Amino acid sequence: MRPRHPTALSEDDRAALKNVLARCPELDTVAGHVRDFGEILTARLGATLPTWTAAADAGQLPGLTGFVLHLLRELDAVTAGLTPDWSSGSIEGAIYRIKKIKRQLCGRAGFDLLRKMIPLQ
């Protein structure tokens, strides 16, 4: 079974998941922490990461405690990575476009043609 977002589960899968989580309270707790962490990642809520790590570590669940320990070693970097409101996507796209043009012209033309293909702004 491939991992899916809880909202994308079928009714049968949702019932099976609810049944499994009801039988194991520790697994239900871990699932809650994983959902919360997924929300932090997707919504880029880096400021809430210290609160999440404290709550996840307080449960003393073996797999989750190890993950939190490794996360705490680089907490500043992870928080910074999940916090910015800006993206370098447009710059990366421009660099990719220039590299693609250079590959297409490789060995066929000099700098004059390359300058015409890449307008300076």
First to last CA, the chain: 50
Same domain, 95 and 113: yes
CA distances from 110 to 107, 114, 116 (A): 8, 7, 11
Residue 1: inside a domain, yes or no? no
Q: Rg of the Cα trace of the chain?
A: 23
Domain of 24 in residue numbering reads as 6-81
Secondary structure class of 117 (helix, strand, coil)? helix
Its pTM stands at 0.63
Euclidean distance between CA atoms 103 and 99, whole angstroms: 6
Q: What is the pLDDT of residues 1-55, one digit of tens each?
A: 566 777 788 888 889 888 988 998 888 899 899 989 989 988 888 889 999 999 9
- Tally of domains in the chain: 2
